[in-house]
Structure 1
Amino acid sequence: MKIEQFRQSRADDLITAAKIIESVFSGSILTTPIYIAAEELRKGAPFLKDGTTNNDLWGYEICDLKIPVDTTKHMRPKGINHKNVELILNMKLVANYKNWNDLNDPLIDLNFNAVIRGIGVQPHYFCFHIDKHDPSKEATEPHPTYHLQIASNPLDEDEFQYGNTLFLDTPRIVHHPVDLILGIGLLTSNFFPFAFDNIMDDGYFSSIYKVYQDKILKPYYHTIASNWSYDIANICWSKQHLCPTII
């Protein structure tokens, strides 16, 4: 498949994601950021952080995609409920299409930022991101290439009110990479499980979701598993229990 066709296919997948989100959430989510990303993807190769690009690259950026939050049972402080909580996703992905069909890392750059904002007497935030670390850069602590990291200060304000929370730069928790398709599963399964079930009940979307698991998750987990030799016939654990978003 030529790169132009490949980008078109990935853009079509984004449009499919937007339409299923619109259907499941009855049009209450503004999916314009996804349509803009699809159009950006079709136009051509994105730029890397150093300003360079080449024709083998594909990618997109999602800006301020807002998703309602329904998992507020144990939320603190009290006085905040699902009616005044929302999740805001900003992400950027750059990948090399030549690595799409093998066990190489398909992504070159990833930044997946989620901010959960609840409005009480004042705004309260819970934030996390999944990104890709450049292994060529030195680090003073273990720094997984792909990791999830918790944050609390979405705008990095010096005068941010942390309350009684102690915030550190660690831990960086090992996590598989995600694009928007896999990210929809990650976010809805954690913050709106009813929507996750409905999204995965859509046969067309679930088939696309499986493709992205095969192209993005499979190389990641196979690489980790290669540290050991094992007989797959002796696997006893349920993969759905270990990772409920696996389908």
Structure 2
Amino acid sequence: MAKNYKHIIQGQASRLDKAVNYLRNALGDAPWIRFLSDAADDIRTRSNGVEWTVEVTDMDLPITGVPMHLKPRSLANKLKMFVSVKMTCNAQLWDKNEDCITDLCFKVSIQENDNQDPDNVYQTGFHIDKTTENELLKHDEMHPLYHLHFLNESIIGGKETLSMDIPRLAHHPVDLFLGLMVVFANYDKNTFDTLKDDPNFAGLCKESADHFIEPYIRSLCKLPWGDSAKTKYDKDLCPYLVL
């Protein structure tokens, strides 16, 4: 009889529910927290027997203060930040504590209108994603299996924006919790410190790290310094460490 993984999948929805409560206790009823509730509901209604998907679109997060060296100077210092996440995972691999992510895109877009030309929108941003096998075969450029990518064409717009479609840097996988900590660490230090010191939310992050980051690090440690046999998966994680 095939093993039933429903308890693992429903557990992912419960983790999001816990996060909503922990975040509200720590930060108050911030409007963006409701996106996590919606994601939990989606898991309960849309997941199949072995996979679940976390999907969040344009979650509006605060930016505290004005980042240094903000250009062009005609911007009005009213930055808006939007986070979108789509992550699909395999419950069987989660249960084995192996890399369970089958699809990942964690995208951050920061936007502002030009103060002198309000119709002109400037954007910057990045995404953390997992490259599929088909994409690895399709592109000549180096694609670490998991990578952080700045200023790519799908994010950047604006007539005065100058960008280059490199580099792609290897990055550990993130889920919604770990990804939010990356965002807050860079854009809202007060919230980052609050959540880092909150034992409930930090506990969710640790559980995520055990299942998402630890398998990644185990494979990454084989390159280039490990003596153990290296699989194609190990090498795809970070091609520029394959020596």
Band the TM-score falls in, shorter-chain normalisation: 0.7 to 0.9
In the alignment, which residue of structure 1 is the partner of 2:158?
161
Alignment counterpart, residue 189 of structure 1, candidates 175, 185, 198 = 185
- SS across alignment from 1:117: strand
Q: TM-score, normalised by structure 1?
A: 0.78
- SS across alignment from 1:31: helix
- Superposition pairs of residues 95-244 of structure 1, within 5 angstroms: 95-102=89-96, 104-121=98-115, 122=118, 123-136=121-134, 137-151=137-151, 160-163=157-160, 165-227=161-223, 228-229=225-226
In structure 2, the CA distance between the partners of 1:125 and 1:23, relative to structure 1 (3 Å rule), is: farther
Q: Could you list the per-position Cα deviations for residues 201-235 of structure 1 after superposition, in whole angstroms to 9, with x for gaps in the alignment?
A: 211111111110111000111101023239xxxxx
In the alignment, which residue of structure 2 is the partner of 1:240?
none
In structure 2, the CA distance between the partners of 1:229 and 1:146, relative to structure 1 (3 Å rule), is: closer
1:152 Cα shift?
A: 6.1
Tell me the distance in 1 between the aligned counterparts of 2:197 and 2:205.
Answer: 11
Kept after mapping to 1: 8 A contact 2:123/2:155: no
Tell me the distance in 1 between the aligned counterparts of 2:41 and 2:104.
Answer: 19
Tell me the distance in 2 between the aligned counterparts of 1:74 and 1:225.
Answer: 35
% same residue: 26
Q: Could you list the per-position Cα deviations for residues 30-52 of structure 1 after superposition, in whole angstroms to 9, with x for gaps in the alignment?
A: 3222111100111242xxxxxxx
Q: TM-score, normalised by structure 2?
A: 0.79
Kept after mapping to 1: 8 A contact 2:152/2:164: no
1:196 Cα shift?
A: 0.8
Tell me the distance in 2 between the aligned counterparts of 1:152 and 1:138.
Answer: 17
Kept after mapping to 1: 8 A contact 2:111/2:123: yes
Unaligned runs of 5+ in 2: 228-243
1:69 Cα shift?
A: 0.8
Tell me the distance in 1 between the aligned counterparts of 2:5 and 2:65.
Answer: 40
Q: Could you list the per-position Cα deviations for residues 40-65 of structure 1 after superposition, in whole angstroms to 9, with x for gaps in the alignment?
A: 111242xxxxxxxx521111211221
Kept after mapping to 1: 8 A contact 2:4/2:49: no
Unaligned runs of 5+ in 1: 46-53, 231-247
Kept after mapping to 2: 8 A contact 1:95/1:106: yes
- The answer to whether residue 43 in structure 2 is matched with residue 41 in structure 1 is yes
Paired residues, number: 216
In the alignment, which residue of structure 2 is the partner of 1:18?
20
Tell me the distance in 2 between the aligned counterparts of 1:153 and 1:67.
Answer: 22
1:105 Cα shift?
A: 1.7
Bigger CA drift: 14-23 or 61-70? 14-23
